[in-house]
Amino acid sequence: MARKFLYMIAILAGLVIAALFAMRIWSTELTRFAFVPRSAYTRLEPVSADAYAANTMWFSRPGVGAQDPSQWVPSGVQKGNGSAAVFFIHPTSYLARAAWNGPLDDTDTNRRATYFIQGMASPFNGQAQIWAPRYRQAAFGAFLTDKAEGQMALDAAYLDVRQAFDTFLASVPADKPIVLAGHSQGALHLIHLLKDRVAGTPLAARVVGAYAVGWPISIEHDLPAMGLPACNGPDRTGCVMSWASFAEPADPGVVLEAYRTRPALDGKAKDARPILCTNPLNGGATPAAPASANLGTLKPSDDLKGGDIIVGAVPARCDPATGILLIGDPPELGPYVLPGNNYHVYDIPLFWTNLRTDVNRRVTAWEASRKAVAQ
């Protein structure tokens, strides 16, 4: 009996080793198998023209009340009273493969989106308003395939975001400064909004800053079409902040591959040149900053319903070869680090306090420039 037990242990150990080996060799293929929808694409009808007039189509907006996840702050942090209105586009929270676009009423999807908004939009609540729309986001698997259905899903999601943005603009006073922000899929939709709704229009003068985080931006082929330059200092306004965080040793291959499979905003193919990287610890002033410049990282609680601020947790350095943001040794923030030491989920929490300071400083600079012009 003991010998049989040992044989069984040996067999199970062998299976575990084989499974780990398979995951190491075929992790990309297995991820695609797990997340890419297999169903045919079903065309989405546009939401009604007045859909975003209703509070139910927003996770966050004035009037949502105590359940607004963007209004959370960590212990010891005070909400501010800045003048800007913020439009925030949440990242992918639909992880199922039942459809190419997530439904608006899926409980698990909306719960994850709420957590994302709490951790990622809360740095912006030092300002007057935050608007974060619900939208029929593309499934996570849409980013893992070169099938036409993946792009169709993203295009459909973008139409919802664009409609929400138009409602946001119509609801905000014409003289109010605005901050635009998005993470991951939200950042991808944001760069399209900049191209379609901001670049070359009077609205560009009202943009304090655009924070397109967690989605690579081509300096040569995306940034010019967005109509705003990269931020090169903490007091610059009307500029773009962007980064993608990796601990070291970093392996950004999968991320950069997904980025290069789709054409740039100018319609051209993306190349292997470094992506845009603006250092969140110093507002893009220099490529590198030490951990001592980190005013506070938000470490989420185990249940994701709260978190604590840790000062000086990580440095930040833009890698000149790739443009990814390197944060040194892997910090312990939680179980959601992706393969390749990819801290994608933590892109904003890593620099929570610096980002809050960055937004407030740029709004102050924008207001000062307006007063100077008026005088």
User: How far is it, in rounded angstroms, from Cα 116 to Cα 95?
Assistant: 14
User: How far is it, in rounded angstroms, from Cα 31 to Cα 33?
Assistant: 5
Q: Within a domain: residue 368? A: yes
Q: What pLDDT, on the 0 to 100 scale, is given for residue 283?
A: 98
User: How far is it, in rounded angstroms, from Cα 284 to Cα 287?
Assistant: 7
Q: Within a domain: residue 10? A: no
Task: For tokens 């899903």, name the residue.
Answer: 153
Q: Angle at which helices 148-171 and 185-193 pack, to 10 degrees?
A: 60
Beta pairing partners, 240: 210, 230
Q: Within a domain: residue 264? A: yes
Q: Where are the beta strands (DSSP E) in 189-315?
A: 207-213, 239-241, 245-246, 288-289, 297-300, 307-310
Please count the structural domains in the chain. Answer: 1
Q: Is 201 exposed, middle or buried (0-12, 13-18, 19+ CB in 10 A)?
A: exposed
Residue type, 271: D
Q: Within a domain: residue 28? A: no
User: How far is it, in rounded angstroms, from Cα 7 to Cα 236?
Assistant: 67
Q: What pLDDT, on the 0 to 100 scale, is given for residue 144?
A: 84
In this structure, what DSSP letter does residue 138 have?
Answer: B
Q: Within a domain: residue 120? A: yes
Q: What pLDDT, on the 0 to 100 scale, is given for residue 42?
A: 86
Q: Would you say 179 and 127 are in contact if contact means Cβ atoms under 8 Å apart?
A: yes
Q: Within a domain: residue 88? A: yes
Work out the widest C-alpha separation in the chain, in whole angstroms: 92
Dihedral in degrees, nearest 10, Cα atoms 248, 252, 253, 257: 180
Q: Helices marked H in the chain — which ranges?
A: 2-35, 107-120, 148-171, 185-193, 223-226, 253-260, 352-374
Q: Within a domain: residue 89? A: yes
Q: How do the pLDDT tens digits run along the chain, 375 residues long? A: 444 433 443 443 343 333 333 334 345 554 554 678 877 888 899 999 999 999 999 999 999 988 999 999 999 898 888 999 999 999 999 999 899 999 999 999 999 999 999 999 999 999 999 999 999 999 999 888 888 899 999 999 999 999 999 999 999 999 999 999 999 999 999 999 999 999 999 999 999 999 999 999 999 999 999 999 999 999 999 999 999 999 999 999 989 988 898 889 999 999 999 999 999 999 999 999 999 999 999 999 888 888 999 999 999 999 999 999 999 999 999 999 999 999 999 999 999 999 999 999 999 999 999 888 876
User: How far is it, in rounded angstroms, from Cα 240 to Cα 208?
Assistant: 9
User: How far is it, in rounded angstroms, from Cα 192 to Cα 197?
Assistant: 8
Q: Within a domain: residue 104? A: yes
The residue range of the domain holding 151 is 43-374
Alpha-carbon separation of residue 351 from 248, 277, 294, 295, 365 (angstroms) = 17, 14, 7, 8, 21
User: How far is it, in rounded angstroms, from Cα 36 to Cα 16?
Assistant: 25
In this structure, what DSSP letter does residue 196 have?
Answer: I
User: How far is it, in rounded angstroms, from Cα 175 to Cα 195?
Assistant: 21
Beta pairing partners, 318: 325
